[in-house]
Amino acid sequence: MKAALAHHPDTLKIMPMTMSTLPESSSPSPNAPVADDALLREVAELVVSSLNLETAAADIQADDPLYGDGLGLDSIDILEIALVVSKRYGLQLRADQEDNTSIFQSLRSLGNHIAQQRTK
* Residue type, position 74, single letter: D
Segment 91-107 mean pLDDT:
86
pLDDT digits over 45-73, tens only? Answer: 999 999 999 999 999 999 999 987 889 99
- pLDDT surpassing 90 at residue 86: yes
**What is the structure's pLDDT at 53?**
94
Q: Which helix (H) or strand (E) holds 54?
A: none
Q: How far apart are CA 86 and CA 80, in angstroms?
A: 10
- pLDDT surpassing 60 at residue 82: yes
Nearest alpha carbon to residue 55 among 109, 107, 102, 1: 107
pLDDT digits over 4-49, tens only? Answer: 444 444 444 444 443 334 444 445 566 788 999 999 999 999 999 9
**What is the structure's pLDDT at 28?**
53
10-14, 66-70, 93-97, 116-120: least confidently modelled range: 10-14
Quick one: DSSP state of residue 32?
A: S
Nearest alpha carbon to residue 6 among 16, 28, 48: 16
Q: Residue 16, SS3? A: strand
4-to-37, 45, 90 alpha-carbon distances in Å:
26, 22, 22
Q: How far apart are CA 78 and CA 89, in angstroms?
A: 16
Question: What domains lie within the chain, and their CATH numbers?
Answer: 33-117 (1.10.1200.10)
Please tell me the pTM assigned to this model: 0.74
**What is the structure's pLDDT at 16?**
41
Q: How far apart are CA 37 and CA 111, in angstroms?
A: 9
**What is the structure's pLDDT at 52?**
96
Report whether 16 contacts 100 (CB < 8 A): no
